[in-house]
Copies of this chain bind each other. A is one copy, B any other.
Amino acid sequence: MAQAIRLHQVSPLKASCHQCSLSNLCLPLAIEENDLDRLEDIVQQGKIYNRGEHIFDQSTPVRSCFAVKSGSIKTSIITEGGEEQVTGFFMPGELVGLDSMSSENYACTAKALERTSVCEFPVDRLEELTGKLPELQHHMYHLMSQEIQNSHQLAMLLSKNTAEERIAALLLSLSSRFRRRRMSATNFSLPMARNDIANFLGLAVETVSRVFTRFQNQGIIRARGREVELLDVEALQMVTRDFARQGQ
């Protein structure tokens, strides 16, 4: 019994990556069964944030990166002038903070869009571990590359595409991400406000609203507030003329 207590004290928040249903999307993906313990040793699990709470902001010294366990997170850069640029939305299994590895302070601000729980990976310990587990290191490089690619895709969307194309692309991206999480790909609830969508896509809120109603009138989607149903995915794919994103 003394031991049970001790165990509880030593690792009250130790994660169970073994049982996590997201392990096939998250860091454990790359790891052998028997190395998983070593990852679990460094993870702190289960911290919960309410809607609107900050996980970190640009004045926070970097300590960890975070995997979304449930809920969702938006990241944004906030300038001196108080202007915001939303840089990403993160769903369960996705890693937040890769842009801040080995920076002094976080390069962005992360905010829970709803009640959200996260797993925390201290970057120094993560670096140590990736030095020992080549598979894990490889996976980190992969995730970071991916993040760069995503951001380039966003830049492309912003500089070359119309409001309709941008919104269609976002809806499709969300759709496929829901699908990978074994949730409906055609029937979901947007975790973010129209405002965040607008900001992310470099549009005015009014424009986002108008495009939503236009899509609705064309029978492509059905939207009531944040509840969205994709009625005609093919049509959406036609709208995004950039077919590279189609299978994303």
Q: Give every chain B residue within 8 A of A140 (Cβ-Cβ).
A: 141
- In the assembled complex, how far is the CB of residue A90 from the closest CB belonging to chain B, in whole angstroms? 13
CB pair A137–B131 under 8 Å, yes or no, is: yes
The count of chain A contact residues (Cβ–Cβ below 8 Å) is 48
CB pair B151–A152 under 8 Å, yes or no, is: yes
Cα distance A149–B127 when bound, in Å? Answer: 20
> Is A134 an interface residue when CB atoms closer than 8 A count as contact?
yes
Cα distance A152–B58 when bound, in Å? Answer: 14
Q: A87-B156, A103-B142 are in contact. List 19 more A-B contacts (CB 8 A).
A: A77-B152, A77-B156, A79-B242, A79-B244, A85-B159, A98-B144, A100-B145, A102-B141, A107-B145, A127-B138, A127-B141, A128-B134, A130-B137, A131-B134, A148-B148, A151-B154, A155-B202, A158-B158, A159-B202
Q: Give every chain B residue within 8 A of A131 (Cβ-Cβ).
A: 130-132, 134, 137
Q: Give every chain B residue within 8 A of A151 (Cβ-Cβ).
A: 148, 151-152, 154-155
- In the assembled complex, how far is the CB of residue A203 from the closest CB belonging to chain B, in whole angstroms? 8
- In the assembled complex, how far is the CB of residue A4 from the closest CB belonging to chain B, in whole angstroms? 36
CB pair B80–A244 under 8 Å, yes or no, is: yes
- In the assembled complex, how far is the CB of residue A148 from the closest CB belonging to chain B, in whole angstroms? 4
Question: How does the 8 Å CB contact mask read for A95-116 relative to B, with 1 for contact and 0 for none?
Answer: 0001111110001100000000
Q: Give every chain B residue within 8 A of A79 (Cβ-Cβ).
A: 156, 242-244
Cα distance A17–B98 when bound, in Å? Answer: 28
Q: Which residue on B lies nearest to A88, using beta carbons?
A: B152
CB pair A99–B148 under 8 Å, yes or no, is: yes
